[in-house]
Structure 1
């Protein structure tokens, strides 16, 4: 009986120690950047995007991806259809309706547009001057993400 309780306790303890991705708001990332400059990783997604959900449930659950993001970047998850205004670098970005029950957040548009259009998922990595270092507009698995993060971490 003691052995079973110990095994359950050990399992629960190990589960709580599993790495978790630190998610920041842009305001938090901006503040943290002043104390410890790191690139900002912005994951642009929507609630209806199945590939976005796949990245959330696989790529961003991978222990090596989590460690690379937590150690070298400020991770920001940005819903492209968020209706709340967001202040970033002294500029207020707002939601822009584009029709009945559709629209896009100006910040998602600014950070996620590639060749005049935006697709989901998209992620952009920004340097300390908010220059986009890397922008990928497609599902990215952990195997592909890891070398990208390692390379981008060198631009610190």
Structure 2
């Protein structure tokens, strides 16, 4: 699901949200995508009770969400150019370290922020403990 699709879905049917920010160079991101997000227990948890968004933290395009346009303003000025959405959800004064996962309630309030690899068991337990 994209951020644009998320906005429409939240308007029609509010549910908790799982945001996953990754980069091409992140080895733990690739490991999670290969070994964690393919597990039936994880896919079931992510598809049934919440909306899941996967987002490349270095995406070079614009995203319109909640009436605002977010872009990658660091694209020509940084060796690791982060999209505005990755910076926003990373939190203030924190160095971006993928994988970044956030769990938000149906009102889009951050309930948990994780900047590390999680195996399938830990991810499912985290999802179940919050919702």
Same-fold call, TM cutoff 0.5: yes
Map of 1:103 onto structure 2: 81
Instruction: For 2:118 and 2:73, locate their aligned partners in 1 and report how far apart those are by CA, in whole Å.
Output: 27
Map of 1:143 onto structure 2: 121
How far 1:49 sits from its partner (Å)?
0.5
Question: Over the residues paired in the alignment, what is the CA RMSD in angstroms?
Answer: 1.6
Which one has a larger percent helix, Structure 1 or Structure 2? Answer: 1
Q: Residue 103 of structure 1 aligns to a residue in which SS?
A: coil
| Residues paired across the two proteins, number | 130
Map of 1:30 onto structure 2: 7
Map of 1:71 onto structure 2: 48
Q: Of 122, 135, 139, which residue of structure 1 is paired with 2:100? A: 122
How far 1:43 sits from its partner (Å)?
0.3
* TM-score (normalizing by structure 1): 0.77
**Structure 1 stretches of 5 or more lacking a match?**
1-23
Q: Which has the higher contact order (CA 8 A, sep 6+)?
A: 2
How far 1:115 sits from its partner (Å)?
4.8
Q: 1:33 to 1:61 in 2, by over 3 A?
A: same
Instruction: For 1:68 and 1:90, locate their aligned partners in 2 and report how far apart those are by CA, in whole Å.
Output: 29
Which of these two proteins has the greater Rg computed from alpha carbons? 1
Q: Residue 96 of structure 1 aligns to a residue in which SS?
A: coil
Q: Runs ≥4 in structure 1, deviation > 6 angstroms? A: none
How far 1:39 sits from its partner (Å)?
1.2
**Structure 2 stretches of 5 or more lacking a match?**
none
Map of 1:8 onto structure 2: none
How far 1:118 sits from its partner (Å)?
1.3
Q: 1:114 to 1:65 in 2, by over 3 A?
A: farther
